[in-house]
Amino acid sequence: MTLDREDEITERIRRGDIKAFESLFRSSYSPLVRYSASIVKDQDTAEEIVQDLFYRLWKERNKLKIQSSLNGYLFRSTYNRSLRWIEHMKVVRKYEADTSGTDQESPPTPLQQLQLDELHESIARTMEKLPERCGEIFYMNRFEGLRYREIAEKLEISVKTVEANMGKALKEFRKTLGEL
């Protein structure tokens, strides 16, 4: 797809052209699912990630701002969503390990399971709310263990930008967890 063609498709989708959207979905869905599956190592999860990407793309089409190519945007979004899913699963596993302890305890009570499910959902919603760059920086710091300077070098941004994005992410998590 040429850049002019991609710009035309993007504009048509922004204006609500369902045919252009369906055409993009049909041509991009399978490659995006394969790409996501290569990251998350689970076909069903990959399909959910890509379906959610297209759902949000259509739902928020009026706000659609693509700086690069449409194809690049779709693959980058799939990549980021896949990483967020992996990040979410790490948090879930860590929380489950922390709450289960080293000795074999009885299964959680229905109330405990409900609380655990609510926490998982809150974490997922919070990660989804974060801007793409903000979520990427948070992931690199909290789950890859990179220092702010390392993140700044890797992303070719200033340390102050990393600090600002981490502040936004932590503020969002505090707000969400405060509501629980």
Residues 33-71 as b or e (16 or more Cβ within 10 Å = b) = bebbbebbeeeebbebbbeebbeebbeebeeeebeebbb
Domain positions in the chain? 1-79, 109-180
pTM of model > 0.75 = no
In which region does residue 166 sit, left (phi positive, over 0), alpha (psi from -120 to 50) or beta (all else)?
alpha
3-class SS of residue 120: helix
Q: Evaluate whether the domain defined by 109-180 bears CATH number 1.10.10.10.
A: yes
CATH fold of the domain at 1-79 = Rna Polymerase Sigma Factor; Chain: A (1.10.1740)
The reply to whether domains 1-79 and 109-180 share a CATH topology is no
State residue 179 phi and psi, 5-degree precision: -80, -15
Taking CA 39 as the corner, what is the angle to CA 149 and CA 37, rounded to the nearest 5 degrees? 160
Q: What is the pLDDT of residue 104?
A: 53
Mean pLDDT of each 10-residue bin along the chain, 180 residues long: 75 91 93 92 90 90 81 89 88 78 66 80 77 84 84 90 90 77
Residue 27 confidence (pLDDT): 92
Q: How many CA atoms lie within 13 A of 119 on its CB side?
A: 14
